[in-house]
Amino acid sequence: MTAKKEQQDSAVDAPFLIELVKTLRAQDTNGSWEGKSDLDLLEPYILNKEKRRTLPIIGGPDPNTLRRLELFFEAVTRSIERETGVIIQPLLKLHAGGFGRIVLIAGRLIAVNKQLRDVHRFGFDNCVKLAQEGDKYVSEGISLIRKFPNVVNY
Amino acid sequence: MTAKKEQQDSAVDAPFLIELVKTLRAQDTNGSWEGKSDLDLLEPYILNKEKRRTLPIIGGPDPNTLRRLELFFEAVTRSIERETGVIIQPLLKLHAGGFGRIVLIAGRLIAVNKQLRDVHRFGFDNCVKLAQEGDKYVSEGISLIRKFPNVVNY
């Protein structure tokens, strides 16, 4: 096992990243990503500050970026569902200029709420940040669902 | 006062219809509807069964229909806000084929939740039905907000 391979394995040890990779692989219905490593799949999520700044924020966000955003929150959704056993429905609404809002709904509760801006530049400095951000939403959702079960089951 | 005028006045006595007319008139920034009666403004909301059946449900809904749907729920939003003092944010998401969902959000609570279908044919048999349907959402929203204040203020 090479040093590079070891690094890759450790990078996707984080539960949220494992869920995200699973979500991404589920999109690959014709098996064209089989040769890709988990890190290869996560790579488009990584945008450092310089890279981000070069992305134009004129017009609507790139469809691939939008899809990445949706799959990120789908992984959040699945992680919360797995932990709580509650069914979650995401609702994403984008306005002009890369602004918008996404909510993850559990019954009558908004388990996760995120105002979006600069969707064109959706990305993370590195895999650790990606995992942390995902975990943040997952924990928030789980904790709110446990706090207000009567709203979830209303 | 003519019989027709009297009938009009009584038709928009319902609090929800008054709010809806107010919402509609607020769109008329250049005053071109000043000559229109309240009932004239509400008229596009009235679709009896036969009229509804003739509307094609192929492709996306007509933009005017969509706008009417949004303004209907804006009137619901304003009515709930007026009664509860809580700020409500509507979130409308439409999918292909006239399906979708609208939620009215108060803090972390979904005060009103409506799955949409056949948006192409959004309309009501008559003004009474229109007022009743509006009132139904308003009451639902108010009652849920009063039931779960800690979720609203979370």
- ipTM beyond cut 0.90: no
Residue A144 is nearest to which of B103, B108, B148, comparing CB atoms?
B108
Q: Which residues of A touch B103 (CB under 8 A)?
A: 91, 103, 105
> Residue B102: which residues within 8 A CB-CB, separation 6 or more?
B69, B73, B90, B91, B92, B93, B112, B113, B114, B116
Q: Tell which residue, A122, A137, A27, A18, has the closest CA to residue A88.
A: A137
Q: Which domains does chain B have, with CATH numbers?
A: 3-152 (1.10.3100.20)
Residue B60 DSSP symbol: S
pLDDT 10s per residue in chain B (154 long)? 444 444 444 457 899 999 999 999 999 888 888 899 999 999 999 998 888 888 877 777 888 999 999 999 999 999 999 999 999 999 999 887 778 999 999 999 999 999 998 888 999 999 999 999 999 999 999 999 999 999 999 9
What is the nearest CA distance from B137 to chain A, expressed in angstroms? Answer: 14
Single-letter amino acid code for the residue at B24: L
Q: Which chain B residues contact residue A92 at CB under 8 A?
A: 93
Say whether B108 and A154 touch across the interface (CB within 8 A). Answer: no
Chain B nearest-CA residue for A92: B93
**Smallest Cα distance from A2 to chain B, Å:** 47
Q: What residues of B are in contact with residue A116 (Cβ under 8 Å)? A: none
- Report CB contact under 8 Å: A151, B109: yes
